[in-house]
Amino acid sequence: MRIVVLVKHVPEPTAVWRFSDDLTLDRAGLDGRLSQLDEHAVEQAVRLAEEGGPTECTLTCLTMGPAPAADALRKALAMGGHQAVHVLDEALHGSDALATSLVLAKAVQRLRFDLVVCGMASTDAEMSVVPSMVADRLGVPQATNASALSTNGTSVTVRRETDSASEEVVVPLPAVVSVTDQSGEPRYPAFKAIMAARKKPVQAWSLADLGIEAAEVGLAAAGTVVHDLRPRPPRTAGTVVVDDGDAAVRLADYLAGARIL
Amino acid sequence: MTTVLVLVERGGAGGAPVRKPTLELLTVARRLGEPAAVVCGPVGEEIVETLARYGATVVYAADAPELDDYLVGPKVEVLEEAVRRTAPAAVLVTSGPEGKEIAARLAVRLDSGIVTDAVDVQPGPDGPVVTQSVFGGMWTARSRICRGMPIVTVRPNAAHPEPLTNYPPPAVEPVAIEFSELARAARVVSRTPRAASGRPELIDAAVVVTGGRGVGSPEGFQLIERLADALGAAVGATRAVTDLAWRGHEMQIGQTGKTVAPQLYLASGVSGAVQHLAGMQSSRTIVAVNKDRHAPIFGVADFGVVGDLHTVLPALIDEIEKRKG
């Protein structure tokens, strides 16, 4: 079975965001990491690969992004990926979700696949649309937001927790699955695994390798234009009282003043 | 006037025929053109009346077992067909997990720009201008769609639903589709509905009462629920609480759960991790109860109580009951 796991290099959750003049996120100036939500995707993909046995299964970690995104691939390899592909091209700067899904889908096709595993969202843009877009471009079904998944080699079975119900969904392969942060703790790679990951193959692919024109991607090709971007006015801390036995009454007074009571 | 398509979210059994975020979408759609509603599932008088009251002039009605039996595939094809028939000025969908998936597949098929998680949508000279709260809620972006037909997913509470006093009965247009093999691939083999809590829905509620790890135990969380019931509020939880399985994931607020923006957000035993703040810091008023005076939640709270929630909350519930009394 050929599994491809899609990963993204994102700013650290505590990063202070900065933007370039073209209103894109200044990724070069930020400390980054493999998205915490994608670690769940890698974990589930590695578990499936381990169950299938190393000879039967190839697990490829795929990312697109500037040079530092290679760090996310190394982490995914240390967690158990077999090989990695980094789509790297100047022309990708400023790509929107549509262009991102085009590039990832072309790369997945080039790799050939039975199952694509993604995280539930990136922790920077947080749109959650790329898994569905990649699935649509590949012409395959998707099962999103899986809290558990398993496969018999011809289909995947997924458990989903929606607002209204707990569901079990069966999807024939090939397919795209996204997993939630409820799917299980990602493993913490041991030193030996980190060292071994350095020797695993990482290929760099350009747009030309994927048969994509530079004009199809990047900021100029985006389907949306950002007019302006402003920092949210910070919330200021209000009144803080220390409970001396009267806090409940003071809190009730406050709620009455705010017309909640 | 040009059509603006709205994908309808049906209400749960025994409740309102349509969920409140759909009424908000119709209200927003009226700013941009003439709303037409797309309904998946059986269409009765009550649902048509409700959609008309909020401005729908046409209801596209698709009713087929496939719409329930499979994940989003069939719904995407219904919406695609409605787009083909109406050549709309925009498509509006509620920004939840399902709505985003439908919108994402539609965007690829129409090669159209998409904006998700809108907190406001206004008409502009070159199409809708969409406001989003982005990057963990720390930035506000305004943008527009510059390619294809604008597709916008709109967050609950982005608008106040405004009913019309005079409205004509809408035309009901059946949409019958032979669903593709791809649409009929992700099959739901079992579905266990959640028991209704009897409380308001988290994303719609005017008041949200949330408990964090500080409640101490699954039993301790009942205190949060008692306070919520005293206030007629919805109940939320932090990721710590759902990870510990003290309460279900559907109650989780934050980056990997729900984003809420109620009139009052009352957090108890919640430290205020950035991932949690991302899901609630647009609330009108934030109140926090925590025994650690250095908890980050106090940095965003309009009113904070440094104290033990196990003594403060029971006293607060008594005080609320007394004042209501």
> pLDDT tens, A41-51?
999 999 999 98
Structural domain boundaries enclosing B85: 3-174
In a domain, B179, yes or no: no
Same-domain pairing of B99 and B244: no
Per-residue confidence band for B136, with pLDDT thresholds at 50, 70 and 90: confident
In a domain, B185, yes or no: no
Assigned superfamily of A2-221: HUPs (3.40.50.620)
In a domain, B196, yes or no: no
Beta strands in chain B (DSSP E): 3-7, 34-40, 58-62, 90-94, 114-122, 129-134, 139-145, 151-154, 171-174, 187-193, 207-211, 234-237, 264-268, 285-290, 303-306
In a domain, B187, yes or no: no
pLDDT of A261: 79
In the predicted model, what is the mean pLDDT of residues A101-122?
A: 97
Same-domain pairing of B160 and B235: no
In a domain, B184, yes or no: no
Residue B170 · residue B199 · CB < 8 Å: no
Q: Output Rg (C-alpha) for chain B, integer angstroms.
A: 21
> pLDDT tens, A211-242?
999 999 999 999 999 999 999 888 888 999 99
Q: Which residues share a beta bridge with B59?
A: B37, B172
Average pLDDT over chain A, rounded to whole? 93
Give me the percent of chain A exceeding a pLDDT of 90.
82
pLDDT of A53: 58
SS3 A38: helix
pLDDT of A18: 82
In the predicted model, what is the mean pLDDT of residues B49-57?
A: 97
Same-domain pairing of B127 and B216: no
Same-domain pairing of B152 and B296: no
Per-residue confidence band for A31, with pLDDT thresholds at 50, 70 and 90: confident
Give the CATH number, domain containing residue B282: 3.40.50.1220
- Cis amide bond preceding A233, omega within 30: no
In a domain, B190, yes or no: no
Which chain A residues contact residue B289 at CB under 8 A? 247, 251
Per-residue confidence band for A39, with pLDDT thresholds at 50, 70 and 90: very high
Q: Cβ of A227 and B187 within 8 Å?
A: no
B75, amino acid identity: K
Q: Which two tokens stand for residue B75?
A: 């719904």
Angstrom distance (rounded) from CA B84 to CA B78: 10
Which chain A residues contact residue B71 at CB under 8 A? 141-144, 169
Q: Which two tokens stand for residue A87?
A: 């789509």
Q: Cβ of A141 and B305 within 8 Å?
A: no
> Ramachandran region of residue B42, left (φ > 0), alpha (ψ -120 to 50) or beta?
beta
Average pLDDT over chain B, rounded to whole? 95
Same-domain pairing of B146 and B73: yes
Angstrom distance (rounded) from CA A68 to CA A56: 31
Q: Residue B99, Cβ neighbours under 10 Å: how many?
A: 22
Which chain A residues contact residue B147 at CB under 8 A? 222-223
pLDDT of A20: 86
Q: By mean pLDDT, which of A55-64, B84-93, B104-113 is the weakest?
A: A55-64
Q: How far is B55 from chain A (nearest CA, A)?
A: 27
| End-to-end CA, chain A | 60
Strand order in the sheet with B264-268: A239-242, B303-306, B285-290, B264-268, B207-211, B234-237
In a domain, B197, yes or no: no
Angstrom distance (rounded) from CA B232 to CA B252: 19
pLDDT of A132: 97
Which chain B residues contact residue A169 at CB under 8 A? 71, 186-189
Per-residue confidence band for A55, with pLDDT thresholds at 50, 70 and 90: low
Residues 6+ apart with CB under 8 A from A180: A40, A120, A145, A146, A147, A161, B249, B256
Domain count, chain B: 2
Helix (H) or strand (E) holding A3: strand A2-6
Indicate the residue of A227, A240, A247 with minimum beta-carbon distance to B129.
A227
Q: How far is A154 from chain B (nearest CA, A)?
A: 13
Same-domain pairing of B242 and B123: no
Q: Is the pLDDT of residue B208 over 80?
A: yes
Q: Is the pLDDT of residue A178 over 60?
A: yes
Q: Which two tokens stand for residue B128?
A: 């809708």
